[in-house]
Amino acid sequence: MFIAEVIAPVVATEKIAFFKGRKLLLVREVLEDGTPGDRTLVALDGVQAGPGDRVLVARNGGAVDDVAGMKDCPANVVIIAHVDRVERQ
């Protein structure tokens, strides 16, 4: 898992049936110091996130399947939480 910032929605008029009615978002990794990382991915939205939101992203097949509600989901990246803050100790 990693923390990311939502950059923008991804609009695709032609897509496989699974993705119809599901929101896809472009996300950019946020590094530990809060600066943007190099990794940018398209993620399936599981929490109604929007541009500017900080989110927790999973790339685990089980997490993606759980959010999608199906086994062997065709997506491999999913937003699983909104991040309010990171508390370092």
Number of domains in the chain: 1
Tell me, yes or no, whether 68 lies in a domain.
yes
Residues 6+ apart with CB under 8 A from 32: none
Q: Which domain holds residue 29?
A: 2-82
Question: Would you place residue 89 in the very low, low, confident or very high pLDDT band (cuts 50, 70, 90)?
Answer: confident
- Residue 8 lies inside a defined structural domain of this protein: yes
Q: Give the confidence band of 82 by pLDDT, cuts at 50, 70, 90.
A: very high
Is 25 contained in some domain?
yes
Sign of CA dihedral 22, 75, 61, 6: negative
Mean pLDDT value across residues 44-54: 95
Q: What is the CATH number of the domain that holds 28?
A: 2.40.50.220
Q: Is the whole model's pTM more than 0.85, yes or no? A: yes
